[in-house]
Structure 1
């Protein structure tokens, strides 16, 4: 055993013997002893993570403790997490001037940029430079995305694909890349309506958008980035599209950087077939303290006692009132997010006076509803956040939270899956997701959102319910290579030589079945992720109802009202998967609102007025889900499959493209589509529309605005901010 490991092991035993880092409770063990032992841990690769863990606790205590700052600085330099020192300086601690050695060490980790990498970030950067095809598991606060930008900056890749799991992360990534001058040599392509460029380009897409785009265009990408790669094995409705995106990268044989948190291994089949390399990092540069504050029990959080209470709501109120720091409250459902945010807002009558917050409230009142309970919450420094909220409002909420104007956000998984916040605390009001228990991995991933590197040394996670133990996913399997059975519709997309023996046999059975039914494989390949049996049912329905051919002859670009009723009925009741059908939406209701959308291009406010739910908040929640889930995503996918099947059965040329475009964007003007995909709100697009006719690129739209700034007259401050951020 190395001498550094021997010394580190003894140091580890001493720290363990004296318990949690609370100097006031120590006997015969001083803060100097503690720092010296931390230093010894940091000299050992085996104990490095333990060293960083205890260094976090020491730094957290330093502003109020009696710490030897010279020793503390030596520990920070040894850990090579240099930002810790800057964080302490901002808290009023003064260190000796850096020596020449200190400065040269920082320069070594700066990679010719203003950003200084941590030791393990630099190790990861160097490892990628050697391996080029890398799967990385590292904690949420590690900075994996930061390393990705360094990799892009320091290499000469020409066509880069970056896959992120949500539209919220797409917007955040696009904005981050736009602001990074080192990436200015690349075109940023974020919309499926922007044609590929032969010049240097970065394509930033969700899996669904990437899949659609690469079906239409053959991009010769040479570097592929996949954030939250564990979702290929997530066993939900999106896992197929995640898997297929990775399959496309596999077929390109390009360099890749696949990243995610908390998994121990990645598919050996995928690694072997791609000549890749897997690396796991366990060091968390922001530590987490977990506390259970359960039914009828007391708790203590960072020295603050929380009294014994029974109800979750009363315990939540105790936390909000008594535990300092910005807080994310995790809940499992959208309606719960809204009701609990209101309860927290009711804890105070004091309103927040902030111009940016007031601008957001006025925007919501004008464009959504004056009655939305989000307004009352915002006035008191509270917000709720879920997938039904417009992305541009989500962004404003997170920015107000990160700037300290909003103190509490009650959220569903949409905020805890990748979006960066300044939350010190995460409170688990629920330990479920849509009424299904969170896994140990999901709990750990959400806990990882407590504490932000650069602002906190320690984050807090507080549980109001019993929960499973946190754990890593043992192994991320790649379904296409590792599972004997995948959905029937997925087999059709995979080349036979890439399937195992059982997979090949199953695909052969499918091919025989469709051949017996006289259905071409090419048709089913077009209709990706549409349940195989549902497609067969619609084909049979068309074959049995020949009159539908004449009934659905569209004379102009959009179908007539009666035709919409027929189309929506078949799409919703036959093609929709069971998971996509929701009790809140009947076929008749959907058809009525689809017609309103495609014929009149209503605002969200108009759609809310048209909805027949009794409560205003229910109307708003349902309409936002309708717009951002059904109109933007589900209906276009299913309408495309409907069109393909109709044209096959009847040898026709039915086109529902205009209907899909009107559902997604309100109209088919190119500038409108591009600005909507960029995340620009409809109110701003409407204001600019008369100046942008005929402009079909983001650069030409930007030129019009820059050369004619007077056209922005009439936009509010928040609208100007939203626009400048996105184009």
Structure 2
């Protein structure tokens, strides 16, 4: 019997008690389709769905494996390992050998296609679904002769994932792994950095030769947020100095034609989901009605949090819950955990969180029931530990904001969409597709399950990823200054002349404005005029050494805040200027623990004070103020002819630490409370390799067993 592929897929989605004859007929159709037309989304979906049934028939299993070999996604066979059935043929072994690499990785059909196109074109841009294996093959693209390789990632969580992968890979032991701008460089370097850090490194080493670079989640160059310009500039600078690159991300239809033409790059787009996706939309189920979740009957109520708790309780496997805001994540975790029994699986993490943030923080209570929340304001080391414990199965349910839809890999089988907003903006179709993509992980699951408690947009792909440097005739002045003369349009060249005129009028050089990247030109010129009108202030700002007295630092912080921070960075109603400056002084001079900082607020619950602390440290101290202080230092030194250095203040704000080896440890993912206990044993370390070598002789007796495990898996890998 000849069945249509669409009919087969629909039957597999809707029914769980399919007969053996149907499955055999379905697999024969799939095999014929692959042999005659090749692989496709529906073919892969059918293979995944039949595999997920774990059918015991030897005939079904063997034919299924033949289809898997024909599809050239050999990992499916490994995932079927526990299913009975005779298996093995010379053809299958030869086929798999053709897709095997010396490193031991067995490529999928699509990964081999990417490697082939990369070998041919050297500069490629790839759009492919999540769990596709785009980042898995990054090490395979690095040539033995490469001296400097750059891997640019959007988040510190993803950065930590890459760093861990490379420090454990014996092929790259001859490389110096660089993940902070304060590290020294070796003869061979692999830079694994955010775009902000890459930007600083390129400024520090203007003649740095780069052989190959990767940018993960490259679509972020066209986002409408504060960081998109930094991403775009990083891409522009690297693309102008390398002959090979690999730009990757999910679900965009096209990439800037002007970029592809300017840099002679080749665009590849794949639609195949290598993990099949199911979707159950509960948003249109009326209150009081019953809906079915894998055979479990669930009643919908008027209470959205009760609906969430009931749904999560009905699910099998680990679950990610997407919410729009930080506070919502915490409230949702509370409701989900309220009816669950306690477990001992997270005791180490609970003790760590309690000693680092405070026993009063509600996260500890939720962890007792294998529930956690995760958002961008949390310290990165806490985020990392939560994701790690989720991936090893210690946490069952993780409630998160958009932080976990930016390339971070988890072991979640289920995704529940609780909100249809991202912050205060509606989710786009691209956001929804990206969230859905987090359900199911290749190598663990054949099918990912998605549940929608709210209505969401249906349009899936982001469309075209624009590159503002080459695609716009309306560049802001600070962007205009970053573009080479030869890449400016005639309209933008006229605007450049206007900026030059403004420089002459204000008696400053174009290079000064250009050095203060991403700071509005009009804000910089306003500060120049302020200094000219207030020379006494410049005298009051002068200091020697690395740390000014408090009153002097207050002037620096005030001017950085008032003149150079963006309007969006100053909009927090609960963090007005006086609080930001006073707390920054406290942070720099007293170096408080998070717990001490939290208890420094006089109002609000402990959780509210924790959120406020996280927001101030993450958004202002670690990002906004350092960038503004750097620009202020440039302008002050230019106008005063001096060499004031605020780098120590910036380090204390950005990292809560001042010594280079301590910054190195923190940016590797080591929590500050651990660093303070062991700092003296790493005084002479300048790279990740130095730190690894020093661990064996370090006295770790002051660390708890859980803290020792953090240190080991972060710096030495899980299998040390």
TM-score by length of 2: 0.94
The counterpart of 2:674, out of the listed 673, 684, 694, is: 684
Change (3 A) 1:284 1:44: farther
1:125 aligned residue: 115
Whether contact under 8 Å (2:381, 2:671) holds in the other structure is yes
Unaligned 5+ segments in structure 2 are: 716-720
Report the CA distance shift for 1:438/1:517 in structure 2 as closer, same or farther (over 3 A). same
Kindly indicate whether the alpha-carbon contact (under 8 Å) linking 1:15 and 1:37 is maintained by their aligned counterparts in 2. Answer: no
What is aligned with 2:576? Answer: 586
- In structure 2, the CA distance between the partners of 1:65 and 1:263, relative to structure 1 (3 Å rule), is farther
Task: Give 1:620-631 correspondences, 5 Å limit.
Answer: 620-631=610-621
After TM superposition, list the pairs within 5 Å mapping 1:184-199 onto structure 2: 184-197=173-186, 199=187
- For residue 557 of structure 1, report the CA deviation from its aligned partner: 2.8
> Residues of 2 paired with 1:509 and 1:534: CA distance?
16
1:321 to 310, 313, 324: 313
Report the counterpart of residue 669 of structure 1 in structure 2: 659
| 1-structure distance, mates of 2:80, 2:459 | 30
Look up the SS of the partner of 1:114 in the other structure.
Answer: coil
Instruction: State the SS of the aligned residue for 1:712.
Output: coil
Match runs of 1:163-562 below 5 Å:
163-197=152-186, 199-217=187-205, 218-294=207-283, 296-297=285-286, 298-348=290-340, 350-354=341-345, 357-562=346-551
Return the alpha-carbon distance in structure 2 between the equivalents of residues 667 and 371 of structure 1: 25
In structure 2, the partner of 1:114 is 104
TM-score by length of 1: 0.93
Q: Please list the CA deviations of residues 370-424 of structure 1 after superposition, one character each: whole Å capped at 9, or x if unmatched.
A: 1000000100100000112222222221122112221000001111211111111
Structure 1 Cα separation of the partners of residues 688 and 447 of structure 2 = 42
Within 2, Cα distance between the matches of 1:161 and 1:177? Answer: 12
Q: Which has the larger displacement, 31-40 or 43-52?
A: 43-52
Answer yes or no: is the 8 Å Cα contact 1:564–1:591 preserved in 2.
no
Q: Structure 1: give runs of 5+ residues left out of the alignment.
A: 1-6
Distance 1:306 1:694, change over 3 A: same
Residue 566 in 1 paired to residue 555 in 2?
yes
What CA RMSD, in Å, does the superposition of the two structures yield over aligned residues?
2.2
Equivalences for residues 691-702 of structure 1 within 5 A? 691-702=681-692
Deviation at 1:65, TM superposition (A): 8.2
Instruction: Check the 8 A contact 1:293/1:315 in 2, yes or no.
Output: no
CA drift of 1:182 comes to 2.1
Q: What is the DSSP-based 3-state SS (H/G/I as helix, E as strand, rest coil) of the residue aligned with 2:339?
A: coil
Deviation of 1:17 (Å): 8.2
Once the 2 structures are TM-superposed, how far is the Cα of residue 180 of structure 1 from its aligned partner? 1.5
CA pair 463-127 structure 1, distance change in 2 beyond 3 A? same
Pairwise CA distance, 1:269: 1.3
Question: Superposition pairs for residues 49-68 of structure 1, below 5 Å?
Answer: 49-63=41-55, 68=60
The answer to whether residue 701 in structure 2 is matched with residue 713 in structure 1 is: yes
- Counterparts of 1:140-151 in structure 2, within 5 Å, are 140-151=130-141
Distance 1:456 1:703, change over 3 A: closer
Structure 1 Cα separation of the partners of residues 306 and 658 of structure 2: 51
Offset at residue 243 of structure 1 (A): 0.7
Task: Find the aligned partners of 2:313 and 2:659 in 1 and give their Cα distance.
Answer: 50
CA distance in 2, matches of 1:278, 1:367: 46
- Asked if structure 2 preserves the Cα contact closer than 8 Å seen for 1:296 and 1:309, the reply is no
Deviations 1:276-299 (A, max 9, x none): 111111111101111111265353
